[in-house]
Amino acid sequence: MGTITQDEETADLTPLADCTHCDYRETLLQGDQCKPGDCCVVANSGRQIDRFFRANPSYAADYTHDYFWERRAIAARYLPTSQLRPLLTDPDEAVRRVLAYRVPLEWLVELRGDPDREVRITVADRLPEQELEVMANDPDYLVRVYVAKRLSVGRLFRMVADPDDQVRRTVAERISPVSLGLMVNDAEVDIRRIVAQRIEADDLELMVKDSDWTVRYEVALRAAPALLQQLFDDEEEDVRLSAKQRFIYRGQ
């Protein structure tokens, strides 16, 4: 294994473009509006490209069809909104991710079916609610989580049987308590515990015989006296004690 010399350790690896044939050699360079190794649109360096457009935003429009995806993506940050539409179909997801944050809300419909998950997540986070429900069927669970966080409570019932437990957990935390009866038999214990904590007290009877003792314990913490008596002989001691203690307290 070779030895790394001190010169190699301290070598400056900053990309440095050749200004010899640069279009800006006689203009921006002379006016200190760009600088090799620091503020340069030619170098394949995201940091230098961003500094260039920050100093010279009016040049961003010249790079919307550049061969280098990062140059197009950074240029998209500085373009006027009116010039963003052609980039909605850019072949690189990094460019479209920038657009998902920047375009007017009415344009987001065009990105709902984008092949990139991060683009669709941003769309789900920004899309007007009246256009959001169609994304409840998105193939990616994380997109559906964002939908479940934003969809109106009255429309969440369509997601109570989502195949992903993170989506259903979000639904269980937000859906109206009167609709939680649809989730009392959820396959995930954690979700049934949330249901037991939020469901209408009159509906707790649906969960008094749950197969998991922690769910029955949550029932014992909220049940009315008549229901508490059904838990006096529960197989789990913590459930029995909680039920009896609350029954005595309620009777005082």
Render each residue's pLDDT in the chain as its tens digit; 252 residues.
445 455 444 445 677 878 888 889 889 988 889 899 999 999 999 999 999 999 999 999 999 999 999 999 999 999 999 999 999 999 999 999 999 999 999 999 999 999 999 999 999 999 998 899 999 999 999 999 999 999 999 999 999 999 999 999 999 999 999 999 999 999 999 999 999 999 999 999 999 999 999 999 999 999 999 999 999 999 999 999 999 999 987 764
Q: Which amino acid is at 9?
A: E
Q: Is residue 56 part of a domain?
A: yes
Q: Is residue 42 part of a domain?
A: yes
**Residue 229 structure tokens:** 């008596």
Q: Is residue 47 part of a domain?
A: yes
Structural domain containing residue 189: 176-252
Q: Is residue 7 part of a domain?
A: no
Crossing angle of the two packed helices 46-55 and 69-78, in degrees rounded to 10: 30
Q: How far is CA 184 from CA 16, 120, 148, 172, 239, in A?
A: 63, 31, 18, 10, 18
Name the nearest CA neighbour of 225 among 245, 206, 241, 209. 245
The DSSP 8-state label assigned to residue 39 in this structure reads B
Q: Which residues contact 119 (CB under 8 A, 6 or more apart)?
A: 93, 96, 97, 100, 111
| Other CB atoms within 10 A of residue 61 CB | 12
Name the nearest CA neighbour of 111 among 132, 82, 81. 132
| pLDDT at residue 81, rounded to an integer | 95
Contact 127, 101 (CB under 8 A): no
DSSP strands (E only) in the chain? none
Q: Is residue 38 part of a domain?
A: yes
CA distance 25 to 217: 75
Q: What is the pTM of this model?
A: 0.85
**Token pair 């789900």 in the structure block, residue:** 124
DSSP 91-122: SSHHHHHHHHHHS-GGGGGGGTT-S-HHHHHH
Q: Do 185 and 249 reside in the same domain of the chain?
A: yes
Q: Is residue 98 part of a domain?
A: yes
Q: Is residue 87 part of a domain?
A: yes
| pLDDT at residue 20, rounded to an integer | 86
Q: Do 86 and 26 reside in the same domain of the chain?
A: yes
Counted domains in the chain? 3
Q: Do 168 and 180 reside in the same domain of the chain?
A: no
Q: What is the 3-class SS of 137-201, one letter each residue?
A: HCCCHHHHHHHHHHCCHHHHHHHCCCCCHHHHHHHHHHCCHHHHHHHCCCCCHHHHHHHHHHCCH
Residues in a beta bridge with 35: 39
